[in-house]
Structure 1
């Protein structure tokens, strides 16, 4: 039946054209974006999984960046540790050379002093992004440990977990303000050096007429006592780092090694306080002068010793070592430096192990990022061969549908010709 009111053929052709156009638009989107799941409406489950995995992939990228920073920090620490081992080797060589008879220790000390300055510079410079694994300022856990982010995981419940690689800095710190660094002897002293407090506590600076052991006078340290006699007004005698340097020279680094050093310093201190050389010599000759007893002979007034300690002299390191003049036990110092070489070599090996682990973890993370990307593609990427082929087919179908609609719309004009 032919109807002028309702053109069923045109309606059918138009409906087919609409369906083809919708399919064509969908396929065109896939070809343009490369995705078969762009929004949740396309496939809610796949879209949700893909979105979560993309987020995790970005997080893993941040983990990779964090490991790069950690790797650089380890590299800097290793370079500093390796340079330290080399400088310690050089210092030991100088000490061995100084053991030879006839060698001028003062000149050798100047060479050692330059190596010490370079060693200090290496330790200070071994820093990356504000982190220096070769120095510390205390013994608390937060100062002697650090962590490098090494992984990002999501458990079965969907909760996020970060993985960290802990580093024990107590095995790498060379100098610590609180002592205990690899180049320090904690509260003990380099070549048994102590400070005013340690030397005084072990029986004074003289015991039974003998010097009780070497010690170091650091900047900020001072020792004072009051003395006087029938012909000498009460005076206050003070010994500090400036006085030690003026008597022994700066190469001694404030270290008093023996009786002759101590006598020279006390003599100068008494003279500076207003006493005479004869008074000073008599005072130093009395072994009880630096004990808790009272002096005898010329002086009938002796006040207890007062000590001001800077608190840092007990943390003696290789940087405080000196062989100036005839001071110091070279055999002991060579042994201590050799011990430091062994400990820093072990620390360098530990840093090398950390480098290896970080390299492996970094390679795994890169592989994991690629694998996640592949997994996301499997879920949401379009098959471009199929999509392009389908696009071509739909374009041809569209052309045919347009032609069919045109034919359907041309039927009524042919009917009008019947009335002519």
Structure 2
């Protein structure tokens, strides 16, 4: 039955065209933005997950940057400790040379020792990075290395700790040695033992700082790879498949043309009724 009041064909064609236009706009938005989930209205669950992951990635990157400063501070302190080890080795060689020597020999060697002690002091004072001094104390240092997110969404931090190294105490013990007053074999042997003890302490300090630096370096490598994995996961959740969207765009454009022609034909149907009255 034909009617000039209700055109069911035109209504159906219009509904189909409206649906096609909606899908076409959605596809064009995905292509232009590169995202299939650009806001929470696109997919609330995926949007929530992706935003949480983006937040974690940002925090990991910030912590990684902070670890770079810490690693540089430790590296500078380690360099200072290793330099002190070299200087204490020279110190021990000169003390060993003075064993059993005459007073004039001990005096000449003492001048060398004073110069070495001053070089050790200078090295220690220069072994700081951006104002951070890790070579004049034995206090523990705690460094934040990352975050941990529980299944309930709460966040806690992960940390590692290392001890500062008191190279100043080593320098003080060496500077206190005075071969000019060590007139006996026993006193000279005691001086040599003191140097040997301080050499062990300097070596232990350099080793401890090296272990701490390596730990920070390993953690940074892990954080870099972790953030790459998180970013990749976010991309798989929210990024549009442009090959798929391009094919869909072509299909929808054809559908839009056909729906427009169908609507045009349906709108001409009431005109055909006039021929019945001619």
Same fold, TM-score > 0.5, yes or no: yes
1:327 to 178, 181, 186: 181
Q: Residues 91-110 of structure 1 correspond to what in structure 2 (within 5 A)?
A: 91-99=91-99, 100-101=101-102, 103-110=104-111
Q: Which has the higher contact order (CA 8 A, sep 6+)?
A: 2
| Structure exhibiting the larger radius of gyration computed from Cα positions | 1
Q: CA offsets per residue over residues 143-187 of structure 1, 9 Å max, x none?
A: 711111112111223211101111122xx2212xxxxx3x17xxx
Pick the structure with more helix per residue.
2
SS at the partner of 2:141? Answer: strand
Distance 2:35 2:130 in 1: 41
Q: What is the CA distance between 1:102 and its match in structure 2?
A: 6.8
Which residue is 2:213 aligned to?
A: 355
Distance 1:393 1:76 in 2: 63
TM-score of the superposition, structure 1-length normalised? 0.60
Which residue is 1:155 aligned to?
A: 150
Aligned length: 273
- The answer (yes or no) to whether the contact 1:120–1:319 under 8 Å persists in 2 is no
Which residue is 2:120 aligned to?
A: 119
Listed as ranges, the gaps of 5+ residues in structure 2 are none
Q: CA offsets per residue over residues 320-353 of structure 1, 9 Å max, x none?
A: 3333xx3233322221111111121122122222
SS at the partner of 1:167? Answer: strand
Which residue is 2:174 aligned to?
A: 318
Q: What is the CA distance between 1:410 and its match in structure 2?
A: 4.1
Distance 1:319 1:349 in 2: 23
- The answer (yes or no) to whether the contact 1:35–1:382 under 8 Å persists in 2 is yes
TM-score of the superposition, structure 2-length normalised? 0.87
SS at the partner of 2:181? Answer: coil
Distance 1:356 1:46 in 2: 38
- The answer (yes or no) to whether the contact 1:66–1:148 under 8 Å persists in 2 is no
Q: What is the CA distance between 1:28 and its match in structure 2?
A: 1.6
Q: CA offsets per residue over residues 41-75 of structure 1, 9 Å max, x none?
A: 22222211211111111111112112222221221
Listed as ranges, the gaps of 5+ residues in structure 1 are 137-142, 176-180, 185-315
Distance 2:219 2:228 in 1: 14
Distance 1:24 1:151 in 2: 43
- The answer (yes or no) to whether the contact 1:13–1:408 under 8 Å persists in 2 is yes
Matched, 1:174 2:167: yes
Q: What is the CA distance between 1:403 and its match in structure 2?
A: 2.4
- The answer (yes or no) to whether the contact 1:60–1:151 under 8 Å persists in 2 is yes
| Structural RMSD (CA) | 2.4
1:379 to 237, 240, 255: 237
Q: What is the CA distance between 1:31 and its match in structure 2?
A: 1.9
Which residue is 1:128 aligned to?
A: 129
Moved more, 90-99 or 154-163: 90-99
Q: What is the CA distance between 1:365 and its match in structure 2?
A: 1.5
Which residue is 1:250 aligned to?
A: none
Q: CA offsets per residue over residues 269-295 of structure 1, 9 Å max, x none?
A: xxxxxxxxxxxxxxxxxxxxxxxxxxx
Which residue is 1:9 aligned to?
A: 9
Q: Residues 2-401 of structure 1 correspond to what in structure 2 (within 5 A)?
A: 2-99=2-99, 100-101=101-102, 103-136=104-137, 144-169=139-164, 172-175=165-168, 181=169, 183=170, 316-323=172-179, 326-328=180-182, 329-401=187-259
Q: What is the CA distance between 1:5 and its match in structure 2?
A: 4.4
Distance 1:54 1:152 in 2: 13
Distance 2:104 2:254 in 1: 101
Q: What is the CA distance between 1:354 and its match in structure 2?
A: 1.9
- The answer (yes or no) to whether the contact 1:46–1:380 under 8 Å persists in 2 is yes
